[in-house]
Structures are given as C-alpha cells and as structure tokens.
Amino acid sequence: MTQTVSASDFRQNMFRYFDLVKKGNTIVVRNDKKDETLVQITQAKSWDPEAYGEMLKNLAKKPVFTSEDHPEWATPRDIQRWLRQTRKNADRVLDLAK
C-alpha cells in the first residue's frame, strides 16, 4: 500500500511511518506548497549475489554498442573520424567558454 503524507506530518510522526515501511508499505513525502514529491520511502530488498551474477551474464550476451545502433562506428576508420570530429566540437565549446 502506498501512503502520501505531507512533510510536516512525516516529521511529526516519522517513526510511525518507518513502522509502516517495515511492514511493506511505501510512503511518499510531499511538499504541498511547492506541489512536489520530496522522497519515496520503501523497504530495501536484500541483495542476492547469485541473481546479480546471473543478471551480469545476461547483460554480457548482448553488446552495449553495436554497428546497427551506431553506424558511424562501423569500422575502425569510422570510429577515428567520429572521435576527431567530437573532440574538435568539444574544443570549440571550450573556446567559447573563455
């Protein structure tokens, strides 16, 4: 269950809300004057090293950068060209900042 509370109410009843979080609830603390969410409090999940290792193995199966996603990096020469252009543009931005 998610419960939304004002910052002042949370401040006054903090430990009561911590008990609710401990029981599996989610507490959303809002600043009503600024109409914004300040924080969302949920119970931390325990870390499972086996599940983490499995997730890393699954991520390693698909490369992050592929030539299909970035045709400008299809060959080593293309990569060099892209790097030179990017660095030149970065130098121009630095010159403008002076």
pTM of the predicted protein model: 0.47
Strands 26-31 and 2-6: parallel
Q: What confidence category does residue 97 fall into, taking pLDDT thresholds of 50, 70 and 90?
A: low
Stated as kind and residue range, the H or E segment containing 36 is strand 36-41
The 10s digit of each residue's pLDDT in 44-70 is 888 889 999 998 898 888 777 777 888
Q: What are phi and psi of 27, to 5 degrees?
A: -115, 125
Please list the residues that pair with 4 across neighbouring strands. 28
pLDDT of 95 reads 66
Domains of the chain: 2-41 (3.40.1620), 67-98 (no CATH)
**Of 11, 10, 8, nearest in space to 27 by CA:** 10
Distance between CA atoms of 49 and 89, rounded to whole angstroms? 43
